[in-house]
Structure formats: C-alpha cells, structure tokens
Chains A and B, each alone.
Chain A
Amino acid sequence: MSGPVLQLAGVGRSFGGLQVCHGIDLALEEGELHALIGPNGAGKTTLLDIITGLLAADSGRIFFRGRDISRLPVHRRARLGMARSFQVSSLLPSFTVREHLALAVLAGQGSGYRFWRPVASDPALQEPAGELMARVGLMERAGVRVEALAHGERRLLEIAMALATGPELLLLDEPMAGLGPASARELAGMIRRLKASLTILLVEHDMKAVFALADRITVLVRGEVMATGRPEEIRNHGKVQEAYLGSPC
C-alpha cells in the first residue's frame, strides 16, 4: 500500500488561551518506527489524544491510510486498526489480567453483542489471550486483579492489550517510564520485534532506547514540530541539541 499510514496536516489544539499543539505536520510511513520526543509539556500526549480521538483538534486534519478520520469517534478510529497504550496505565480495577486481555481480544473481533456463551470458557477469546500473556510474560499473573500488579506488569499489560486488537498502527505513550533497566531492555527487544509487522509511533523519554529503535524521530517543542529526520540527523541538529538534548532530562 502506498502513501503514509498516518498523516497529520496542520493539527492544532488549545485549552483556554493555551496553545498546546500548533500546526503539526507528521507522516508515518508503512512499517517505520517513528519516535516522538520533546521536553515535558511539549504536547506529546495531547497529540496522541488527538490522533485517537479522545480530544478534538481545533484545526487541521488527520488521515489514516488516506482516509480523513478527523471527525470519527474514538471507537471507529480504533476499528480502522489503531491501538494505543497509555502513559499512566488506564485499566479496569476489578478485572484480572486474563479478563483484560479477553476483553481486548473481543474488542478486536468486533462488537460485544453476544449474550449466552461465557467469555471465560470461549476458546476464541481465551486462546489469543493466553498467547498474548505468554508473549509479554504475564502467564503466571493471569488470575490477578490489576490492583495487585506491580507497576512494570501494568505497563506490559497495557502493551498486550494494544496488541490484542491486531492493529496496523501502534501508538505507545512512554511504555518504558518507571521500568527497571532489565525490563526496559526486554521491552525494547519486544518493540524491535514488533517493528517487523507494525507501524509504530513511540513517545519516549529514554533517549538511548529512542535512538536505538527509531527509524525516524520528530522533535516536539512547545507544541510545534522543531525537526523531523533520521536519528543521526536529529543527533546532529543544532537547534535540537540546544533546546533539548543538551539539557539532561
């Protein structure tokens, strides 16, 4: 398929008088891992909210595989093949790990208008859920409610849920935040393997991981795109170094 998977054209959003995103252009090519970096408050999470539809853009348009999705509701965009993990884990307090994944698999298969067969004994849901748990290493925690999960386990569950719907585009919002070095390395490996089959937009503060994983990087500063390019271009970009990479973060 030709053309970008996701394209933003002049996307802007303000809260009250505060312009959080302004005239953002961005294009994600098929199969690339595109990293979005920038200092805190640059508008990265806001941009993900706008792409997924949780927030409406004040201006500009969003295209998914050439189709204008600017006005589609959240769930319709997801159904087109877009999945997202959240910066602050956004889970269901009373659901276990297995129940989360069964629900996410169900969501990927369409609607929930089936009224008879128990989800807990439905192989069409439980088998993929089991595979996902094995993939992220949460098999032993299957029956545990999220309240009892460790922080890192919640991050893994977030990613497993995003994968469960079988997306073409994966939006990851700081997946490595708060992870120990070992699990961060493990997660980086997983993301690298995912790259083979998915287009990924990665918001991340861990620069080492970003420069190791990304095909291209976009730098967002104060709601505007400062630069886009290959990792080595960004590394050598004068303004970026000055504004962002120079200062420890």
Chain B
Amino acid sequence: MAAETTRSGLVFCGGCFLLLLVLPPLLDLAGQQYLLSLACRALIYGLAASSLNLILGYGGMVSLGHAAFVGIGAYTVGILARSGPGSGLVAWPLAVVLAMLFALLTGAVSLRTRGMHFIMITLAFAQMVYFFFTSLETCGGTDGIPLSGRNLLPGLDLNDDRVFYYLCLGLLTLLLFLLHRLIHARFGRVLVGSRENEQRLQVLGLATFGHRLLAYCLAGGIAGLAGALLANLGEYVSPSMLHWTRSGEIMVMVLLGGTGTLAGPVLGAFVLLFLEDYLAMYTEHWMAILGPVLILVVLFARGGLYPLLAGHGRQR
C-alpha cells in the first residue's frame, strides 16, 4: 500500500506543508492573527485524529473513547502546573505515559470484544474518566484548571504563539513521518492485515491481540501528547476536553479527511474546526447546520476529502 508515495499525494502533502510553514507570516500580512490560534488548535487536533486513525483507519478498531486519552494528557499538565509552570520535559512525557497506561488497562479489556460492543465499551471507559476528573475537587471539578502559563522548554519560549505554532507543526510532522514508517513496516502490515482478516493472520501464526493492543497504546500516548499541547494552547484544562462528544468530533475529523490515509485526519481537523468557526460567525445555532452536513457526508461522500483532493481511493 504505497498511498502517500503516489506523485499526486506527495505534491498535495508537500503543498499543504509549505502552506502551513508560511501561514504565520501570511496571517500577519492579512491582519488575521487571531486565526493563528485556530490553526494551532487544528494542528493539535490533527495529531489526536491521526492517532485515532492509527487504530481506526489502519487497525479497524472503531473507538469512541479517544477524548479520554486527550483529557488524561491535558489533566496531567494541569495538575502538575498547580505549583506554577513546570518543565515540558517532565509534564509532556508523563502525559504520554499515563495516557498509554490507561490505554493498556482499558485496551486489555475492550479489545477482547468486537463491533458494537467495542464502540460502547470504549465510550463507557472514556465516560468513567470524565466522571473521575469532574468529581475530584483537586482537579477543579466541573470548572477545570486554569494554567498560570505554558510549560517551559529549554531554548524555546512557548508563550510566543508563533514558537508554539511551529512546535506543534514540527511535532505533527515528526509523528506523521513515524506513523508512515510504522504502517509500512512489519508491525503496520500485521495491523492492517488484522483489520482485513484477523482469523487468517492467527492461522498463519501471528498473535494479533498483542499487535492490536500495542497500536491501541501508541494511539493513546499520541492522543495524550495532543492533550498536553491543547492544555498549553488555551492555558486552561477543561472537562469539556473529556466530554464524549469530543471523541465523536475527533472521529468526524478522521472520516471527513479520509480513514486509513496518512494526511487525511489532519485535513479533516482543519476542515471541521474552520467550518465550525465560519458557521459560528453567521449563527449561534451552527450545530443545527453541521449535524445534517455530517449526515450528508456519511451518506453520500464516502471515503473522505483527502482521496478526493489527492486523487486516489480509500484503502479498505
């Protein structure tokens, strides 16, 4: 499966990357600096959506609990920051590790099930995390945790929005590259194979459960990093990051951009967030428009935007 290596795909991805690279000065020129924060948000959600895509698009695991990992990452940063802004070199890896640990525990239970069961169980586990954090006063209850500033990194001033933007872009690019390697390496082949016909792989002698569980943990860890970044972006940890509709939104991003394509979920994140922002300028009831649009996309525009724009089909 050499999807991203087709010429049209490369041209499209390269073009998008260059555009993102020059976006901050462009926004300055256009006098639309406020959009930089939105673009940064989209990058971070692109990271979260890409992590979901690893298990959903490549692994065939329809998880509706991805907000839990994002939330665990964000709350890790929030709780550590109660004694003032700490080092990102401590908080971010810890966010990743805790999210992975949660993925390991819940994945071990939920990956024993299939289909609808899996969807509902991942949702229920995520809801458990939501109630855990909102019922603990140490975590700010339903108010969340305001941060007094962004994390500190050696040599980088994260409080500069541009620096933070380029950091997010760099992390996202790095992770997409790693995912690209992963998908085409042995591990990825086994993961994609178990999406298509898990039983056949077992008859060949492959322990698919372990591969799927590891993919689930990796996805959880990346989503945890996205949560840590999200907390830094808004300098606020909100229980709404954990809300189950957030899991749904991340899933929408993946589908909108194209499941099982490397760049699709990032594209989906940008389209969804900018569409929300755009609709919200015209009406406070933008969800009444977005809802039906979503239904229409599912019913009639299968495969997502990325294959449409980059000119090749969905791989499933």
Partner-B contacts on A (CB < 8 A): 52, 54, 73-76, 78-79, 83-84, 86, 90-95, 99, 102-104, 106-108, 111-120, 122, 125, 161, 164-165
Contact between chains at A114 and B185 (CB < 8 Å): yes
Within residues 156 to 190 of chain B, which ones have a CB less than 8 A from any CB in chain A? 181-182, 184-190
Contact between chains at B184 and A75 (CB < 8 Å): no
| A118–B181 CA distance with the chains assembled, in angstroms | 7
11 contacts between A and B (CB under 8 A): A54-B199, A74-B202, A75-B208, A90-B199, A91-B197, A92-B193, A94-B192, A106-B206, A108-B204, A112-B190, A119-B184
- Taking a contact as CB atoms closer than 8 A, the residue among B197, B205, B211, B214 that contacts A92 in the complex is B197
| A54–B201 CA distance with the chains assembled, in angstroms | 12
The chain A residue sitting closest to B183, CB to CB, is A118
The chain B residue sitting closest to A94, CB to CB, is B315
User: Which 6 A-B residue pairings sit nearest by Cβ, starting from the closest?
Assistant: A78-B205, A112-B190, A107-B204, A92-B196, A74-B202, A114-B186
Contact between chains at B187 and A114 (CB < 8 Å): yes
Contact between chains at B187 and A113 (CB < 8 Å): yes
Q: Which residues of B contact A93 (CB under 8 A)?
A: 196-197
Q: Which residues of A contact B192 (CB under 8 A)?
A: 94
| A74–B204 CA distance with the chains assembled, in angstroms | 9
Least CB distance, B10 to chain A, in whole angstroms:
16
- Taking a contact as CB atoms closer than 8 A, the residue among B2, B190, B196, B204 that contacts A94 in the complex is B196
Least CB distance, B264 to chain A, in whole angstroms:
16
- The interface on chain B, measured as residues whose beta carbon lies within 8 A of the other chain's beta carbons, has a size of 31
Answer whether residue B29 sits at the interface, using C-beta atoms and an 8 A cutoff.
Answer: no
| A241–B162 CA distance with the chains assembled, in angstroms | 85
Partner-A contacts on B (CB < 8 A): 1-2, 181-182, 184-193, 196-197, 199-208, 210-211, 214, 315-316
Contact between chains at B185 and A118 (CB < 8 Å): yes
How many pairs, one residue from A and one from B, have CB atoms within 8 Å of each other in the complex? 108
Contact between chains at B206 and A112 (CB < 8 Å): yes
Q: Which residues of B contact A103 (CB under 8 A)?
A: 189-190, 193, 201, 204
Least CB distance, A173 to chain B, in whole angstroms:
11
| A165–B202 CA distance with the chains assembled, in angstroms | 12
16 further interface pairs, Cβ-Cβ under 8 Å (given A90-B200, A112-B190): A75-B204, A75-B206, A90-B197, A91-B197, A95-B196, A99-B189, A104-B204, A106-B186, A112-B191, A113-B187, A113-B214, A116-B181, A119-B186, A119-B189, A164-B204, A165-B204
Of B185, B192, B197, B206, which is in contact with the most chain A CB atoms at under 10 Å from its CB?
Answer: B206
Q: Which residues of A contact B1 (CB under 8 A)?
A: 94, 99
Least CB distance, B192 to chain A, in whole angstroms:
8
Least CB distance, B181 to chain A, in whole angstroms:
6
- Taking a contact as CB atoms closer than 8 A, the residue among B2, B202, B203, B205 that contacts A120 in the complex is B2
Contact between chains at A74 and B197 (CB < 8 Å): no
- Taking a contact as CB atoms closer than 8 A, the residue among B189, B193, B204 that contacts A78 in the complex is B204
Q: Which residues of A contact B181 (CB under 8 A)?
A: 115-116, 118
Contact between chains at A52 and B203 (CB < 8 Å): yes
Q: Which residues of A contact B189 (CB under 8 A)?
A: 99, 102-103, 106, 112, 119
Contact between chains at B203 and A54 (CB < 8 Å): yes
Q: Which residues of A contact B203 (CB under 8 A)?
A: 52, 54, 74-75, 78, 83-84, 90
| A52–B200 CA distance with the chains assembled, in angstroms | 11
| A203–B315 CA distance with the chains assembled, in angstroms | 35
Least CB distance, A49 to chain B, in whole angstroms:
10
Q: Which residues of A contact B197 (CB under 8 A)?
A: 90-93
Contact between chains at B205 and A79 (CB < 8 Å): yes
Least CB distance, B102 to chain A, in whole angstroms:
22
